[in-house]
Chain A
């Protein structure tokens, strides 16, 4: 699976959009971009995933660049409860679908 690069930490004001970037320049054509988050000491939580097109669900939007070398997770109106470590995982579904977590981005939403 391709390697991802994320900033170590980011801050966001409550009520504003949080834009979390992820670089995956070595992504291959059959690899998806998945986002999970982990609120302190809890189990990781699935957020969203995409292949080529932008995706939106009730939690977030995922914008993938046309060359697929980077993506941005957008939380449109961040709340204090969105403070968490956000993981971008590039994954083709192989290796029995195990997830390989990096260090992720610690997003702190400030009041």
Chain B
């Protein structure tokens, strides 16, 4: 069964450094999402992406964040200058589209900012 994959599984970085989290959505899906979950807290929406552009972003998704679909398979989340409070699990999700609304999530990348 096709699944969303994410790399790396764990990323440790120093405050102020740039990180890129990578996702490979399910191949015939058209809608892509990033969510994050700070330890012990709710899963929070960050951004949705369709047709090579951002369709919606949350207040969390400020100028330090960007997303890109550089080729036909990868979907990336870049944090330009990481802060301690960016430490969280980051989940990528994809959705097929048409009348299918369910989203399929990847296993997540644990980002630790020191």
The answer to whether A binds B is yes
Q: Footprint of B on A, CB under 8 Å? A: 32, 34, 38, 41-46, 49, 91, 93, 95-103
Q: Which B residues are in CB contact (< 8 Å) with A101? A: 42-44
Query: Do A97 and B31 form a contact, CB below 8 Å, given A43-B91, A43-B93, A102-B42?
Result: yes
Assess whether B45 is interfacial by the CB under 8 Å rule: yes
Q: Which residue of B lies closest to A49 (CB)?
A: B102
Q: Which A residues are in CB contact (< 8 Å) with B14? A: none
Return B39 CB to nearest CB of chain A, in Å: 9
Q: Which A residues are in CB contact (< 8 Å) with B56? A: 95-96, 98
Query: Do A96 and B107 form a contact, CB below 8 Å, given A43-B4, A43-B93, A49-B101?
Result: no
Q: Which A residues are in CB contact (< 8 Å) with B43? A: 38, 44, 99, 101
Interface residues on B, range: 20 to 34
Q: Is the interface of B mostly helix, strand, loop or mixed?
A: strand
Query: Do A103 and B89 form a contact, CB below 8 Å, given A42-B108, A97-B31?
Result: no
Q: Which B residues are in CB contact (< 8 Å) with A38? A: 43
A38, A93, A98: which has the most chain B beta carbons within 10 Å?
A: A98
Give the complex CA separation of A44 and B36 in angstroms.
11
Give the complex CA separation of A99 and B103 in angstroms.
9
Query: Are A97 and B101 touching (Cβ within 8 A)?
Result: yes
- Of A46, A49, A91, A96, the residue contacting B104 (CB under 8 A) is A46
Query: Are B101 and A93 touching (Cβ within 8 A)?
Result: yes
Query: Are B42 and A43 touching (Cβ within 8 A)?
Result: no
The list of the 3 closest CB pairs from A to B, nearest first, reads A43-B105, A96-B56, A101-B43
Give the complex CA separation of A19 and B107 in angstroms.
26
Assess whether B48 is interfacial by the CB under 8 Å rule: yes
Assess whether B106 is interfacial by the CB under 8 Å rule: yes
Return B22 CB to nearest CB of chain A, in Å: 15
